[in-house]
Each structure stands twice: as C-alpha cells, then as structure tokens.
Amino acid sequence: MTAIDGYLDELDRALRGPRRVKADLLREARDSLVDASEAYRDLGLDPGTADRRAVDDFGAVGRIAPGYQAELALAQGRRTALLAVFVLAVQPPFWRLVSWRLAEPDPLPGLSGVLEDLVSWLGTLALVVALLAVWVLGHGIRVFGARPGHARLTGIFACALAPVFSLNGLLLAFFSPAADAPPLIRLPLVLVVLVTPMALVAVHGSRCLSAARAATSPPVHPVN
C-alpha cells in the first residue's frame, strides 16, 4: 500500500456521511495527492518519497477531516430535509383519495375530526420547516455559512417528525369512521404509506445527527 492509499483509507474512516458525496471528496483528495506526487517525481524524487511528501503537504487527517466532515453533514442534512418534504407533500392528496374511496364524511366527526385537523396543521408547519431546511442547507449556505449546527437541527426535526405523525396516523386508523368498511381499514395503509416512510425519515435524521456530531467533535491527534 502506498502512502497515498494509506492516507486516504485513514481519511475514509474518519468521515461519516452520504456515500456518494464522501466518494467524491475522497476522489478529489486522491487527485490532488497524485498531482502533487507527480510534481515531486518530476523533480527527481523516487515514487515512495514523492507520495510521502505529497501526503505531508496535504496535511494531517486530524486537520483536514473537519472541513470535509462539515460538507458531509450539510449534504446529509439537505438529503434528510428533501426526503421529509417528499413524504409530507404526498400525504394530503393520498389520504383525501382514501377518504373519498371509503366514503368517509367531510369533515370527519368527533375525535377523528380533531385528529385530522391536528395532522393538517402540523403537516403544513412541518412542510414549511422542511422546505426552509432545504434552502438553508443549500443556497442558504451563502447567507448563513456552512454550519454543521444546521444539519443537527435538521436531524432533530426529522427524528421528532416520525413519531408524531406516525402516532397521529395510527390514531386516525383506529378511529376511522368509514361507512361500509371495517374500523381498521386504514391501518394497513397507514403502516405502508405513513409509518414506513416516516421511519426512513427518522433513520436519515439519526445519520444527520451522527454526521453533524462528527463535524463538531474536536479532532483526535495521534499520540507520539
């Protein structure tokens, strides 16, 4: 294994985030290291020495990794926010179609109506927050800077989103007032269309928190 390969392996282990984004960062780092090594070889150094010089010039992993990790945290945060936007946006039209197919009254009576109103208001608010997160973690970087803390907030939001909407959906399934249909007719749909996607949002939220935590943790310096 060359010095460049060993360095990139160490950098790979130090980083957490979306695989594709990390692969792109590592490829850029490799290109820079190879170019530097070739420049040293042109000066007459042997390949091994040239690789080591290139690695030394590039900087220790503990110094380089935080910048890369911040970029990964923002990428994971934006990906999480986009997923939340998609999941939240498809819910209202789908459930309106379900209500129509089940011949449910509009508005829903009693507790079902209260739960539906709650889901509607929370869904609108959550969609606005998710869209704001997409902007802050994308074009908003020019305004607010590349701050891993924004990715952490997105992770917290995603992890809170999943249980709140899953619980409300399950309650609506149990109190469904569908005429000519079993009381729990909504339950399989809630599990497939709401709970499962929200669980995926929560998984991405936890990855977001992990990436943001790694970006804000102090670098570990090797002990001589």
Domain boundaries, the chain: 3-59, 70-216
Structure tokens that stand for 206 in this block: 């936890």
End-to-end CA distance of the chain: 22
Report pLDDT for 224: 36
CB 33: neighbour CB atoms within 10 A?
A: 21
Residue 23 CA to its chain's centroid (Å)? 16
Burial class (CB in 10 A: 0-12, 13-18, 19+), 182: exposed
Q: Which of 54-58, 88-92, 164-168, 213-217 has the lowest mean pLDDT?
A: 213-217
CB 112: neighbour CB atoms within 10 A?
A: 19
Q: What is the pLDDT of residues 108-136, one digit of tens each?
A: 555 666 777 787 888 899 999 999 999 99
Structure tokens that stand for 80 in this block: 């999480």
Report pLDDT for 151: 92
Residue 181 banded pLDDT, cuts 50, 70, 90 = low
CA distance 72 to 149: 12
CA distance 201 to 161: 8
Report pLDDT for 37: 94
CB 205: neighbour CB atoms within 10 A?
A: 25
The percentage of the chain sitting over the pLDDT mark of 90, rounded to a whole number, equals 52
The rounded mean pLDDT for the chain is 84
Give pTM, 2 decimals. 0.79
Sequence-separated (6 or more) residues with CB below 8 Å from residue 145: none
Residue range 202-213: average pLDDT?
93
CA distance 34 to 4: 8
Q: What is the pLDDT of residues 46-56, one digit of tens each?
A: 999 999 999 99
